[in-house]
Chains A and B, each alone.
Chain A
Amino acid sequence: MIADFGFAAVLIAFLSAVYAAVAGVVGGRRNDERWITSARNASVATFPLLLLASALLITLLLQSDFSVNYVWQVSSREMPTYLKITALWGGQAGGLLFWNLLLAGYTAAAMLRKWDDQHALMPYAILVASLTQIFFLGLVAFVENPFAPIAGGIVPADGNGLNPLLRHPGMIIHPPMLYLGFTGFTIPYVFAMAALISGKLDEGWIRTTRRWTLVAWLFLSLGLILGGRWAYDVLGWGGYWAWDPVENASFIPWLSGTAFLHSVIIQEKRQMFKGWNMFLVISTYLLVVLGTFIVRSGVISSVHSFAQSAIGPLFFGFLGLMIVFSVYWVIHRWDALATPNRLESLFSREAAFLYNNFVFMAILVATLWGTLYPIISELFTGERVTVGPPFYNRVNGPLFVILLLLMGVAPLTMWYRSSAERIGMALRWPALAALVVVGALVAFGITSWAALLGFWVVSFSFLLTVLEFIKGTRARMKRGETPWAAFSNLMARNRRRYGGYWIHLGVLVMAFGIIGSYFFQQETQIRLGLGDSVALGSYEMTFNGVRQYPGPDDLLIKEANVSITDDGRNVGTLTPRTELYTRTGQPMTIPSLRSTLEEDFYVIMVNWETVLEDEATFRIFLNPLINWVWAGGFIFIAGTLIAAWPAAAAQRAPASGRRATVRPALGGD
């Protein structure tokens, strides 16, 4: 009964989206306000309908109604309530419903918020948003129905349950963040296409698009960082990023989105690169669809597996359709995308943004190439060939170095043109200071030239970015502000710019951690008896025995106790353990780590079967600087929040005041 209502809500939402698309076109063609309003209402209505459908699916999950196939697949009676709720996105069909809910939420928010502001674009915005909704709702309604009854009609006594590896806070929050990021990029695409179709390619659409991109980008960034943290905490291989196709699928649209967030500034400031920005917005959306296709179709072999399903060809068809649709309108409006302004100097702010875009796109192309290579090679040679992490590290490593270098240098450039000599002067001292840092590292015994180069670039750009804050603060202090007031006003008045610099600092701090953990990770594996010790780096670990005890539910826990010394100093004990879900026989290895700013000492037990009370095998990782990756992630997200804040404030401001509030934030100098 509940399932029937849920399915009905999905079906009505689907029909509503179809109607919205049709009414939008009719309203746009006839310029008839009633049709346009009706289209908007139908489009907005999908959100409450999907909210209802999702609530009903959650109800079914909470009731453990295993007559519904999806509920049986992803939940079991003993699962705690919060896991039953989050099982909404624990499988393909529910995940797609949740995806639709978020998409409808974004669409409704965009329609309502932008109704007056971007009214001229609305009929076509509704059309494009509805096209996307029709596809995704169609999948839920006709292909992957989460409300479908269980096959055979016999209701099982209990469900499959959720894999223990996914019972981690990071895994509960990570998928919604990625989904919010992915679906969020639909809105920029919607306004870009609406601008193309309506021919109203003035600055309105780009301003709207930029803000929505920032929101989607924030969530996607969070999703990527949380995914890395989950892998590090749970998977027990001591790493956080493996260049797996599914990871790449979310990283690739992030790259084009990031490129857009930079190049959009040139369009706002100088009305240049209109066509390029259009290309980036469209690409980001299409890459999201491509990414979803890769993730959900199983077409590329990945460590992450989704259930094989029939939606692959449908996705492919939809992707093709949207490419044709987008390309047609770009060609149709090609002349309107031309710009009268050109680059005047290769040493200018706009040129610097252009270089930044080149590098982002280069990383994107290389990563996409590697991800799709199995398909490409099979097409041309008949043999599937894959590339692994060494490929990505070798191709993207140098590109990231250039990117980090630009990050430090670009803010020194001026709009239109700047003097190479002046920039050179400004770079001299930071370059030397960074060299001193490298000298110190050499003195500490670091010899890897690649790591030293990396550390030099990170220190150099870090100093330059900090100097930007100092310069800005001092300029304000000259006007009589106290240092703290000057610093906080600087950011409050230019949130987008200084939020951006905070993001840069976050990236540099992350890069510091990534270089450290990539180049200097050490690991060892050894079996220890009672009282035996093993040394790794400056650490020594002594095995004190294993305690075995029952946990909650059907858990059997084996917990080792090891004491750790660092440079001979006792720094405490660690308790790596394995939890065995005795009913399913599924073990879960839980690392124990000692975290410092310097490094993580990360210990797992190698095989629960061979763990005895007085003997166990351990694998130990020493991950230098890894906590800087997470710290940098925090700074990154904080910076994004700073940058995104004024947009919301400006949006709420009356139309007359809007320009005044936005303009200063764009100001280069």
Chain B
Amino acid sequence: MAQTTWTTEQGESLKPRSNRMQYVVGGVLILAALAFLIANAMSGNTQLYKTVDEFYAEQSRLVGRDLRVSGYVLGDSIQFVQIDATTSRLEFDIVDNINNPGRRLHIVAENEPMPDLLQHEAQALVEGSADANGVFHANAGGLFLKCPTRYEEAAPTG
């Protein structure tokens, strides 16, 4: 059936050259649509990514903004408090360097399960925002501990 259509005069008369402009216009439209789709999806869905020291360097500017902070967990700061039946609070501090801890950022996560990997020296990524007192409140589901895809420790010397 396909073969009967393509050999007709109409098929032959549809010159490639006349199509070329259409393709260019079509291509530009598609790219514009994709650019719009991406730009639209970005708006309101981006987060500044900061380490602890970077956060403190610009603390006043960053208060209340949606951030993603990363740092290493100080084991003895981890606290899980069950406030009432439906409320729990998980708190811990992160620092930029575990061996030379500078300033600590205090993380508070409400009603989040205690991650298995939340331990001393674990690397945490937290999405949320800081309040005026410098406490960083994690978004719901915004607490990530680095998955040990390749669980390697640094060599003893390094």
Show the binding face of A for B, using Cβ within 8 Å.
69, 73-74, 90-92, 95, 150-152, 160, 162-163, 165-166, 235-237, 246, 301-307, 342-345, 358, 362, 365-366, 369, 373-374, 383-388, 390-392, 394-395, 398-399, 414-418, 525-528, 585-589, 604, 606-610, 617, 619, 668-669
- Decide yes or no: A395 and B41 within 8 Å by CB, A527-B82, A607-B80 being known contacts: yes
Which of B98-106, B129-137, B148-156 makes up part of the contact surface? B148-156
Residues of chain A lying within 8 A (CB to CB) of residue B154: 307
Q: Is the CB of A607 within 8 A of B113?
A: yes
Residues of chain A lying within 8 A (CB to CB) of residue B70: 301
Chain A's closest residue to B122 (CB) is A305
Bound complex: CA of A586 vs CA of B37, how far in Å? 43
Q: Is the CB of B114 within 8 A of A387?
A: no
Q: Is the CB of B155 within 8 A of A604?
A: no
Report which of B40, B116, B144, B150 forms a contact with A587, defined as CB distance below 8 A: B116
Q: Is the CB of A236 within 8 A of B116?
A: yes
Q: A-side binding surface: helix, strand, loop or mixed?
A: mixed
Bound complex: CA of A17 vs CA of B142, how far in Å? 47
Residues of chain A lying within 8 A (CB to CB) of residue B25: none
The listed residue with most A CB atoms (<10 A of its CB), out of B40, B68, B113, B141, is: B113
Q: Is the CB of A163 within 8 A of B6?
A: no
Bound complex: CA of A177 vs CA of B38, how far in Å? 31
B50-81 interface (Cβ within 8 A of A): 50, 68, 70, 80
- Decide yes or no: A374 and B49 within 8 Å by CB, A91-B150, A609-B114, A669-B1 being known contacts: yes
- Decide yes or no: A526 and B86 within 8 Å by CB, A74-B151, A151-B155, A669-B1 being known contacts: yes
Q: Is the CB of A306 within 8 A of B47?
A: no
Q: Is the CB of B149 within 8 A of A369?
A: no
Report which of A74, A301, A343, A395 forms a contact with B38, defined as CB distance below 8 A: A395
Q: Is the CB of A160 within 8 A of B1?
A: no
Q: Is the CB of B151 within 8 A of A301?
A: no
- Other 11 A-B pairs with CB < 8 A, given A395-B41, A617-B82: A91-B151, A151-B157, A163-B148, A165-B116, A246-B149, A303-B145, A303-B146, A305-B146, A386-B46, A388-B68, A391-B41
Chain B's closest residue to A301 (CB) is B70
Chain B's closest residue to A399 (CB) is B37
The 5 closest A-B pairs by CB, nearest first: A416-B6, A395-B41, A607-B114, A394-B41, A384-B49
- Decide yes or no: A305 and B5 within 8 Å by CB, A366-B37, A384-B49 being known contacts: no
- Decide yes or no: A525 and B41 within 8 Å by CB, A305-B148, A344-B6 being known contacts: no
- Decide yes or no: A669 and B148 within 8 Å by CB, A386-B68, A525-B113 being known contacts: no
Residues of chain B lying within 8 A (CB to CB) of residue A366: 34, 37-38, 41
B85-109 interface (Cβ within 8 A of A): 85-86, 88
Bound complex: CA of A610 vs CA of B156, how far in Å? 34
Residues of chain B lying within 8 A (CB to CB) of residue A415: 2, 6
Chain A's closest residue to B85 (CB) is A527
Residues of chain B lying within 8 A (CB to CB) of residue A617: 82, 88
